[in-house]
Chain A
Amino acid sequence: MDITITEELNNTLKDNGFKEAEIKELIANAESSGQKLKARDGDISIAKGGADNLTVYAVYSPSELLDVYAHKMNIIGLTGGELNEIDYDDASNWACAKCGEIALERNVDMTYMGVTRPGPGLVCPKCNEFYVSDGVARTLKTAEAILEEKRA
C-alpha cells in the first residue's frame, strides 16, 4: 500500500514526535492483519499501534494519510467488565475490518499514572479490541495533563 503524506501532515507528524516510517509500518501491520476499523460509509480506515505508555492511531484512505493522533492513557477493558445491553443506540460509524462487526461506543477503563477511570471508547464487540476517536484523544490529552500536574 503506497500511502502519500502531505507536507502539512508531515510537519504535524514531526511537531508531535511521530516518525513517518513508524506510521507507515503501523498501517502496513493493520493492512496485513486486518486489525483496524473501517468507515461504514466510505474508504477510510483507522489503524492503531504503539505500546502501553502511548497508543498511536493513523487515519488513512487507500492513497493518503489523513490524520495521526495518540493518547497515553492505557485502555485496560470495558467499564463494568463485560459487554451488556444498554438503553440507547451505541453503534458508531466504524466497523471492525477483521470480523465485520459494527464498533460500539462504550465506556472503557483507562489507566494512567496509577489512576483508573472510564473514558469513551470504540469497541469491537467480537474481537474485544478498543480504539478511541481523534476527538476523544484531544479530550484525553487534557485529562492526561491534569493527571500529570496533580500526580507529580
Chain B
Amino acid sequence: MPAKDYAPIDENWLENAGSLWTTPWVDKPSERVIVDPIILSHAASLFRKNAGYFYQNPDEAIRMVCHACELYDVTPVGHYLYADYWGQDYGAEIKIQTNSPPGITKRPIKTAEDVDNFEVLDSDELAKGPTLTTHYKALDTCKEEFPHMFAPITQLGGTMEVATNWAAIEDVFMWMITEPEVVDKLCQKAGDHMVSACKATSERYGANVMITGSVIASGDLMDTEQIKRFSFQPVSRAVRKVLNAGAGPGIYYHLCGNHTDDYQMWKNAPMSPFTIVQIGYDGQNIFPTTKLVEAFGDRCTCFGTVDTKLIDRGTPAQVYEQAKEQVIAGKDSPRGFILGTACECPTNAPPVNVHALVKAAKDHGKYEKF
C-alpha cells in the first residue's frame, strides 16, 4: 500500500507520544510510562498482510509499524529488523517465509578453518550490502514520511547471534566444548563486525542506536562462564569500540531468554546516557521488574516486560494483570521505565492483548515521584 493510502498520523497524538517516549532519558515529567511492545511483523497482521510481505517490502513495513504505533498509542518509533541479520553480507542465503521473519538456510562458515580465513567487512562495504540496503530503505522511508518517529537503529544482536548467523549453531556449540578458542575468534570477529555496522549507520544518519545484548547466550543454552566469555566480554568490547568511534549514543541491551545466573554481570556493561536494559526471563518466569530495577535502576532506563507467550496465547485479563504488576514495580525507577514485551510482539497476537498491555500502563503507570 503506497503512502497516499494511509490516513494521516494524528499530530496531537504524535506530540504527546513523543513526549512520553523521551521521559525515561531526560527526566522531564509526562503523564505516564510509555509502552513498547516491539511491534514488527505484528503490524502487518493489522493490515491483513503476512510476515513474508512485511519483510519483502521494507518501505511499506515501516509505514505499517508507524501506523500501528498510533493505533495502539505506544512508543512512536519506526522499527524494522529481524533476528537473522548479517548472514547475507558474508555469503549466507536467506529464505523469506510466509508466517515468520526471514531465516538463514545456508551459512558461510562451515569449518573451524573457515573462521581463521573469515574477513569482517568495513563500514563502507556493509553500507552497500544486502542487510543494510534493505534496512536503510525502511529507515529512509521513516525519516522522509514519519520524521518524528525516526530513530537511527542498527540491529546488531550479540556476538553469539552474529556468530550463529555465520556458522551453524550446532557447530558453534560443538566448538564451544571442543575448541573454545575458535569461538573466541568468531566472537571477536562478530564484535568487529558490530563496530563496522554501527559506524555505517552513524556515518549515514549522524547517530546510532545499537540493539545488542544476548539472546542465544542465555542460561537455557549456556553456563555463566560461557556467557561471560562468548557474549558479555566480546559484546562489551564491541560497544566500547562503537562509542569510542563516536557512533552512539543509544544502547539497548536486549537480554532475551533466561538470565537468572548472568544478569548481574551486565551492570558493568558499557553504557551511554541513553541506555536501556531489558531482560526476558528469570528461569521459566518473566523477569521481575523489582529485580531489574534493583540491579539497573540507578544506572539506566529499565525495560520491564510481559511474557510474549501471554501476549500471544493468554487472555486480555492475564496480560493486563502481569502488565499492571510490572508497571507498578517499575514506573518510578530512578532513570526511567518502559513497559514492553519480553521480545518481539508475536506476528498474530490478538490486538486486544496488546491493547490490554497499553491499558495497564494508562491505568497504573502514572509517575508518582516526579
Question: Which residues of A come within 8 Å of B, CB atoms?
Answer: 73, 79-80, 84, 86-89, 105, 107, 110, 112, 114-115, 117-120, 133-140, 142-143, 146-147, 150-151
Contact = CB atoms under 8 A, between A and B. Distances in A.
Interface in B219-248: 228, 232-233, 236-237, 240, 243-248
A47 B211 CA distance: 34
Given A107-B299, A117-B300, A120-B243, A143 B233 contact: no
B249 A140 contact: yes
Given A120-B270, A120-B272, A142 B249 contact: yes
Nearest to B240: A105
Contact of B248 (A80, A114, A142): A142
Contact of A88 (B206, B233, B272): B233
B275 interface: yes
Contacts of A115: 25-27, 273
Contacts of A88: 228, 232-233, 236-237
Contact of A136 (B244, B265, B267, B268): B244
B243 A139 contact: yes
Contacts of A105: 240, 270
Contact of B249 (A89, A112, A143, A150): A143
Given A117-B300, A135-B244, A142-B206, A87 B233 contact: yes
A56 B273 CA distance: 19
Interface of B: 22, 25-28, 206-207, 228, 232-233, 236-237, 240, 243-249, 265, 267-268, 270-275, 298-300, 335
Nearest to A73: B273
Contacts, number: 100
B249 A87 contact: no
Contacts of B243: 120, 135-136, 139
Contacts of A140: 249, 273
Nearest to B267: A80
A115 B29 CA distance: 12
27 contacts: A87-B228, A87-B265, A88-B228, A88-B236, A107-B268, A107-B270, A114-B27, A117-B25, A117-B272, A117-B275, A117-B300, A118-B299, A120-B243, A135-B244, A135-B245, A138-B246, A139-B243, A139-B272, A142-B207, A142-B249, A143-B274, A146-B22, A147-B273, A150-B22, A150-B25, A150-B28, A151-B26
A17 B299 CA distance: 33
B200 to A, nearest CB: 15
A33 B28 CA distance: 41
B27 A143 contact: no
Given A150-B22, A151-B26, A110 B268 contact: no
A118 B300 contact: yes
A44 B3 CA distance: 54
A12 to B, nearest CB: 15
Nearest to B266: A87
Most buried by B among A87, A115, A118, A143: A87
A119 B228 CA distance: 22
B28 A143 contact: no
Most buried by A among B28, B244, B247, B271: B244
Contacts of A112: 273
A108 B298 CA distance: 12
A143 B243 CA distance: 12
Contacts of A120: 240, 243-244, 270-272
Given A118-B271, A136-B246, A150 B26 contact: yes
Given A112-B273, A117-B274, A118-B299, 5 more contacts: A79-B271, A89-B237, A115-B27, A120-B272, A146-B274
A65 to B, nearest CB: 20
Contacts of B244: 120, 133, 135-136
